[in-house]
């Protein structure tokens, strides 16, 4: 044991060295632990916040890249169009320059050839040129004249018939119907006379009804359908009111027995026709002709009116709606002749 103690005694300062080493190791361990703790805290605090901002800009960045790519593509397209336009302009400019060169060369050649001609030849050349121009102008005039001659329509002749002021018809009146270009006399007076004779015999039917409708004829190809009505009116009798009843004619219409009555107008204007025979029995100075005309025969009415005027008759036109029957009523109007 003595020798061992002596050996330790022979190494002076080793205890101090061990103390320093232990202290350094302890300090390092403490520093490592502090740094590790702080690093973990920083990772826990910063980690979740740093990942979210990096995830959100990605869509915006992709959209920006797409927009930039689209703009760049449009720029390239516009640039290509500009280059094509420039190429087209350059090509057209070269064509123009070439045509100008050709034209200039032709003019120079013509001038040279004309200079080589004598004065007499130049005069003949000018005369020939003027002659060709004159012939061309003459051909144009002929063509224009031919066109005008072919396009000139025949003049329209408007027949003028004296048209005095219309006056209401009182006196003898002949009635005709003009439908589908056919003229037929209407036995107006005969039918009215028959109405005056037949109506009183049917008045008793109004005892139990306010209106009745009866038919008479046919006469001259027409039947008459008439309507009577019973009217009550308060009158003063001896200063006292009293109810008076009377029978009135409401209206009447003429019903043709067939559709093709009468004669075509062309045939009616020939001698021996029913139309002219009817006119011959009338006095033009005292008779007015009333024509009930339908829309399909307005043109024929002008011809008929001209013939009546030529024969000295005054004419009263009665335009009728299509499909509407000829008729009358106490409230109707009289014909107006011209």
Query: Model's pTM, two decimal places?
Result: 0.47
Cα distances (Å, whole numbers) of residue 260 to 317, 325, 327: 21, 15, 19
Give the total residue count for the chain: 338
Q: Which runs of consecutive H residues, i.e. helices, occur in 117-235? A: 119-151, 188-198
Nearest to 314 by CA among 177, 189, 173: 173
Same domain, 252 and 137: no
pLDDT tens, residue by residue, 31-61 = 777 676 766 655 555 454 444 444 444 557 8
Please indicate, yes or no, if residue 22 is contained in any of the structural domains.
no
pLDDT of residue 156: 55
The answer to which of 42-56, 169-183, 214-228, 268-282 has the lowest mean pLDDT is 42-56
Interval 227-240 mean pLDDT: 79
Q: Counting runs of H as helices and runs of E as strands, what totals does the chain give?
A: 8, 11
Same domain, 102 and 125: no
Same domain, 80 and 175: no
pLDDT of residue 26: 72
Same domain, 221 and 310: yes
pLDDT tens, residue by residue, 120-151 = 777 887 888 888 888 888 888 887 777 776 65
Total structural domains within the chain: 3
> Which tokens sit at 273?
């026709």
pLDDT tier at 154, thresholds 50, 70, 90:
low
Nearest to 223 by CA among 135, 319, 298, 325: 325
Interval 302-329 mean pLDDT: 88
Are 199 and 226 contacting, i.e. CB atoms less than 8 angstroms apart? yes
Same domain, 250 and 134: no
Same domain, 139 and 252: no
Same domain, 328 and 209: yes
Same domain, 190 and 275: yes
Same domain, 319 and 298: yes
Secondary structure letter of residue 152 according to DSSP: P
pLDDT of residue 176: 92
CB atoms inside a 10 Å sphere around CB 65: 10
Give the Cα separation of 11 and 236 in Å (integer). 173
pLDDT of residue 295: 92
Residues spanned by the domain of 83: 76-116
Please indicate, yes or no, if residue 276 is contained in any of the structural domains.
yes
Are 292 and 211 contacting, i.e. CB atoms less than 8 angstroms apart? no
Are 185 and 173 contacting, i.e. CB atoms less than 8 angstroms apart? no
The answer on pLDDT for 292 being more than 90 is yes
């Amino acid at each position: 044991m003595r020798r061992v103690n002596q050996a330790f005694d022979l190494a002076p300062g080793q205890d101090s060295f061990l103390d320093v080493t232990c202290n350094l190791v302890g300090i390092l361990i403490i520093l490592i632990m502090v740094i590790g703790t702080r690093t973990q805290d920083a990772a826990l605090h910063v980690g979740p916040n740093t990942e979210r901002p990096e995830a959100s800009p990605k869509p915006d960045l992709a959209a920006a890249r797409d927009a930039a790519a689209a703009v760049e593509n449009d720029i390239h397209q516009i640039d290509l169009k500009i280059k094509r336009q420039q190429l087209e302009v350059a090509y057209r400019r070269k064509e123009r320059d070439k045509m100008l060169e050709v034209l200039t060369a032709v003019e120079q050649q013509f001038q040279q050839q004309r200079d080589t001609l004598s004065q007499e030849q130049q005069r003949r050349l000018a005369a020939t040129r003027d002659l060709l121009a004159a012939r061309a102008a003459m051909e144009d005039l002929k063509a224009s004249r031919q066109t005008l001659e072919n396009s000139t329509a025949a003049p329209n002749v408007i027949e003028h018939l004296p048209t005095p002021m219309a006056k209401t018809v009182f006196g003898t009146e002949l009635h005709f119907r003009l439908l589908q270009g056919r003229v037929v006399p209407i036995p107006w007076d005969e039918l009215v006379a028959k109405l005056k004779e037949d109506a009183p015999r049917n008045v008793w039917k109004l005892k139990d009804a306010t209106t009745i409708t009866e038919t008479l004829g046919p006469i001259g190809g027409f039947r008459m359908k008439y309507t009577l009505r019973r009217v009550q009116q308060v009158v003063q009798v001896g200063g006292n009111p009293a109810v008076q009843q009377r029978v009135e004619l409401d209206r009447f219409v003429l019903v043709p027995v067939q559709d093709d009555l009468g004669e075509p107008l062309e045939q009616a204007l020939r001698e021996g026709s029913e139309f002219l025979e009817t006119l011959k029995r009338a006095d033009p100075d005292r008779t007015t002709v009333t024509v009930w005309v339908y829309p399909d025969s307005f043109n024929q009415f002008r011809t008929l009116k001209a013939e009546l005027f030529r024969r000295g008759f005054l004419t009263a036109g009665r335009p009728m709606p299509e499909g509407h029957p000829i008729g009358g009523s106490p409230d109707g109007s009289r014909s107006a002749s011209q």
